[in-house]
Structure 1
Amino acid sequence: MTWLVTGGAGYIGAHIVRALASAGLPPVVIDDLSSGHANFVPDGVPFTHGTILDRDLLTTTLRDHDVTGVIHVAGFKYAGVSVQRPLHTYEQNVEGTRTVLAAMAETGVHNIVFSSSAAVYGTPDVPLVTEDLPKRPASPYGESKLIGEWLIRDQATATTDTPHPLRHTSLRYFNVVGSADPTVYDTSPHNLFPIVFEKLLAGETPQINGDDYNTPDGTNVRDYVHVGDIAAAHVVAAQRLQSGAPIEAAYNLGSQNGLSVREIMDAMARVTGIPFTPKIGPRRPGDPDRIVATGDLATRDLDWKMRHTLDDMVRTGWQARQNAH
């Protein structure tokens, strides 16, 4: 009765692995280590080093560990880079998800939590993004996540009248930050928190990309959610699937309010104790003023809540990054 976490050696996946173990759901990990780290997998957790594109490896892993469900986190997660590498993005995120579903069908595993993305909405012109908003992804990454949701939905429909229909949910979220374990931190070269941390560690000045957006302080506003809260929601989703409880096809793990880049920079200086005035650079093409999602459905069903303040997010992320030295 284990749960397989694809991408379980990555920043988010490794936190989900720990949250599963804490909840009494034994985790198993498969990861190709293209962006994950073997030392992020806790001692004693079975770890298969390999790609989700290898169906035989997946089916063997599912069978050998008596897997009851999959939390599918593995994927190519860089929206900006996906514009330059669409074929790679589709291979990893679409073909990868199809292969996971095929291996699940072959081995009789019929529960899946899909780590999707709020990028499926594109750049909606509404104050709060809700789950029923039209999907207009603006990058191959967002498109690939939406297609992943479709694949899962279609497989669920195809198995409706079988003894074990596919049960599923997709969790959509934007910027995951902070740390819930002092040995696990965000190593992405494309995410705001690690970019700022690396600048500060190098004695350099972080940069804000544009300060003339239509927001209260001129910098763009996004959801920033703590990785520990994200991991906890994945575990509750897995528990609902395993128990047969009702569950929605998709949930936004949104902050309801959002944070501006300038607010984050101010918190970075305050919490790290390294005073700086960020440089102002040009806008990045295609960056909308504000994208913030509601989390009402997830609050109702997945015990979703923002348990960490902005300072908590910075402090835990900074401490974990410093521990890596």
Structure 2
Amino acid sequence: MTVLVTGAAGFIGAYTCRALAARGERVLGLDDFNDYYDPAIKRDRVAVLCPQVPIAELDLADHDALAALFERERPTRVVHLAAQAGVRYSLQNPRAYARSNLLGFTHVLELCRRHGVEHLVYASSSSVYGGRAIPPFREDQRIDRPLSFYAATKVANEAMAWSYAHLYGLACTGLRFFTVYGAWGRPDMAPVLFARAVLAGREIAVYNHGRMRRDFTHVGDIVAGVLGALDHPPSAGDGDGAPHRLFNLGNHTPVELERFIAVIEQAAGRPARKRYEPMQPGDMPETMADTSAAAAAFGFAPRTGIERGLPEVVDWCRDYFGPDRY
């Protein structure tokens, strides 16, 4: 009984591998260690968080290599976290998103179908709510106005997964993550970017002139949600006649951007140098998850607020990067 975790060297992926291994699962990771951000961070991350988990190094867009891995390992469940991430980068390089998030996900779906995978859990994003978002975001809200190409690929992933659930009975669960943060986080996201900048005394760009609210969700709470979803596969009655379900995984507590910065300042022991900027294309001014569906289905109950979680990020940045690399 093997659980395959794609994107295993990524932020959520490495923590998920660690949690699965800790409860005795046979885990196989997969990652291409691409250079969207420094691959050394990914290799260090897995060396610390899940050194006991073997990780196959391959690209999801390479169908033959992925097919050979499925044939060899015969995974019974798949946690698909690999994707080209980043809202703003999707404005610069949309082809990378088409390759990984669309072509790569097609390969994952088809191989799960061919090999009789019992349950596919895949990462979606709060970004799917887009221009029609009404806080708190509920899974039954319309998602037909994505504000970035990244978000559009995640909307497509949900439709693709539903079609495979409908056509072939492949049990699929999509998880809409809301601004995940924690130690070993992605260096292109605000928690690590801001923490490093404040520690170094560099200026930070505060978009929409600070009028932003985000549902920051600690990685420990996210991983608990991933495992909870994995353990509760949907039935045919869960998704309009198909074994497919969607869940928000967020903290249900939006935080003002200025408050978020203040907690980092306190943990770093120095003030932030702020440069106020207009809203960036593709961004959403507010995110807020309604998590009642996940709570009812598998007891999802986030426990970590930013007052506890953000100091962990600052401490990790201080230890990992050090004053010469802030």
TM tier, smaller: 0.7 to 0.9
Per-residue deviation, 1:106: 2.7
Q: Tell me the residue number matched to 2:215.
A: 223
Residue by residue, what CA displacement relative to the aligned partner does 1:124-161 show, whole Å, maximum 9, x if unpaired?
352311001001211111111111111111111111xx
Per-residue deviation, 1:253: 1.1
**Structure 1 length-normalised TM:** 0.88
Question: Structure 1 pair 258/202, CA: closer, same or farther in 2 (3 Å)?
Answer: same
Per-residue deviation, 1:45: 1.0
Per-residue deviation, 1:210: 3.0
Question: Structure 1 pair 178/57, CA: closer, same or farther in 2 (3 Å)?
Answer: same
> Which letter maps to 1:253?
L
Q: Tell me the residue number matched to 1:166.
A: 170
Q: Tell me the residue number matched to 1:315.
A: 311
Residue by residue, what CA displacement relative to the aligned partner does 1:264-290 show, whole Å, maximum 9, x if unpaired?
000001122223353323332454432
Residue by residue, what CA displacement relative to the aligned partner does 1:194-213 show, whole Å, maximum 9, x if unpaired?
111221233213231233xx
CA–CA separation in structure 1 for the residues paired with 2:15 and 2:186: 14
Structure 2 unaligned regions, length at least 5: 322-326
CA–CA separation in structure 1 for the residues paired with 2:159 and 2:234: 21
Per-residue deviation, 1:7: 0.4
- Aligned: 1:187 with 2:178: no
RMSD after superposition: 2.2
- Aligned: 1:131 with 2:129: no
Per-residue deviation, 1:57: 2.2
CA–CA separation in structure 2 for the residues paired with 1:134 and 1:242: 21
> Which letter maps to 1:249?
R
Question: Structure 1 pair 283/101, CA: closer, same or farther in 2 (3 Å)?
Answer: closer
Question: Structure 1 pair 67/243, CA: closer, same or farther in 2 (3 Å)?
Answer: farther
CA–CA separation in structure 1 for the residues paired with 2:272 and 2:43: 35
Match of 2:262 among 256, 259, 266: 266
- Aligned: 1:299 with 2:295: yes
Deviates more, 1:236-245 or 1:254-263: 236-245
Residue by residue, what CA displacement relative to the aligned partner does 1:158-199 show, whole Å, maximum 9, x if unpaired?
11xxxxx311110002211113xxxxx12332x111111221
Q: Tell me the residue number matched to 1:214.
A: none
State how 1:1-325 maps to structure 2 within 5 Å.
1-34=1-34, 35=36, 37-41=42-46, 42-135=50-143, 136-159=145-168, 165-179=169-183, 185-189=184-188, 191-211=189-209, 219-241=211-233, 249-276=245-272, 278-285=274-281, 287-325=283-321
Identity percentage of aligned residues: 28
CA–CA separation in structure 2 for the residues paired with 1:278 and 1:7: 33
Q: Could you tell me whether the CA contact under 8 Å between 1:200 and 1:274 is conserved in 2? A: yes
> Which letter maps to 1:241?
P
CA–CA separation in structure 2 for the residues paired with 1:154 and 1:236: 23
Q: Could you tell me whether the CA contact under 8 Å between 2:3 and 2:78 is conserved in 1? A: yes
CA–CA separation in structure 1 for the residues paired with 2:286 and 2:80: 28
Question: Structure 1 pair 78/276, CA: closer, same or farther in 2 (3 Å)?
Answer: closer
Per-residue deviation, 1:59: 2.7
Per-residue deviation, 1:220: 0.7
CA–CA separation in structure 2 for the residues paired with 1:38 and 1:283: 34
Q: Could you tell me whether the CA contact under 8 Å between 1:178 and 1:313 is conserved in 2? A: yes
CA–CA separation in structure 2 for the residues paired with 1:106 and 1:113: 16
CA–CA separation in structure 2 for the residues paired with 1:242 and 1:285: 36
Is the partner of 1:5 in helix, strand or coil? Answer: strand
**Structure 2 length-normalised TM:** 0.87
Q: Could you tell me whether the CA contact under 8 Å between 1:123 and 1:291 is conserved in 2? A: no
CA–CA separation in structure 2 for the residues paired with 1:245 and 1:234: 21
CA–CA separation in structure 2 for the residues paired with 1:59 and 1:258: 41
Deviates more, 1:129-138 or 1:81-90: 81-90
CA–CA separation in structure 1 for the residues paired with 2:237 and 2:163: 20
Query: More helix per residue: 1 or 2?
Result: 2
